[in-house]
Structure 1
């Protein structure tokens, strides 16, 4: 059964184009900063940052792929690149022999500490400096709602895998 797509209002179309423009411009600037400061791709930075936020500095690869919305094979490749640089270490999961755990190394923590100040500055100056605190609150609420809606029917790379119970 094919549904006729709803038309977008001029306001919706304007919001969509503004969102995609802001996203593209911000991503380009952030990627440049990450390359210049730490020789990292955006996905590599996301992996290191998520590991840095984990209490024990490690996470399962499938959980990382779900969180960063990246294919599992692409994530494996990025993890290999980071491992070759000594920024992460991969090992079998102690809980599930089919899973791999990625752990942040001290060298990875050092790279994060190097790139974070410039990253925060870029995001603040390019995105948040033009907004009031109320605007930022509204933006966080609105984008949070949109993210929750999109996560309700995510692409396979963002679908959380069910863990088999014995």
Structure 2
């Protein structure tokens, strides 16, 4: 006789899960406050600008941005429109794909990043890094990296790279 027991978490696993959720929520709340106060940016807008700022030429395709920041493509289009209206990015047809759109960081976008980054780093350091010793930070980076890689192996649609159409590179 087989029993199909519902999957469960032991107290340590459940505690780890709830701690992760709570830490993530508390950290994100404070980060969002800082970004809004200093730069008038939402968290997603900051992610988009920071991702573009890390790109060698300051440009990325919209679909690549959506895949990287795990945000719906329609939501990203809306956010990119707001950033374009603010003068922080430009959007143009992709040179590699007539249906694609490339987003490029402007000088004003770099300026707003320069304004928000010091406070952003301060919040992350104060709330996440400083309470831990170096070995704990290294362990946290390793553990979260492992989980991130596992999640990226089977990502939700908003995080999954789009398949290339046949005949296109």
User: TM-score scaled to structure 2, two decimals?
Assistant: 0.94
- The 1-side partners of 2:128 and 2:79 are apart by 27
Match of 2:45 in 1: 44
- The 2-side partners of 1:30 and 1:15 are apart by 22
Match of 1:128 in 2: 129
Where do 5+ consecutive residues of structure 1 fail to align?
none
Match of 2:8 in 1: 7
- The 2-side partners of 1:7 and 1:22 are apart by 22
Moved more, 116-125 or 146-155: 146-155
Match of 1:69 in 2: 70
Match of 1:146 in 2: 147
Aligned residue pairs, count: 164
Structure 1 position 164, deviation (Å): 2.9
User: Which digits, 9 at most, give the CA deviation of each residue in 1:37-96, with x for residues without a partner?
Assistant: 100000000000000000000000000000000000000000000000000000000000
Superposed CA RMSD in Å reads 1.0
Q: Secondary structure at the match of 2:90?
A: strand
User: TM-score scaled to structure 1, two decimals?
Assistant: 0.96
Structure 1 position 5, deviation (Å): 4.2
- The 1-side partners of 2:159 and 2:5 are apart by 27
Within 5 Å, give how 1:101-140 maps onto structure 2: 101-140=102-141
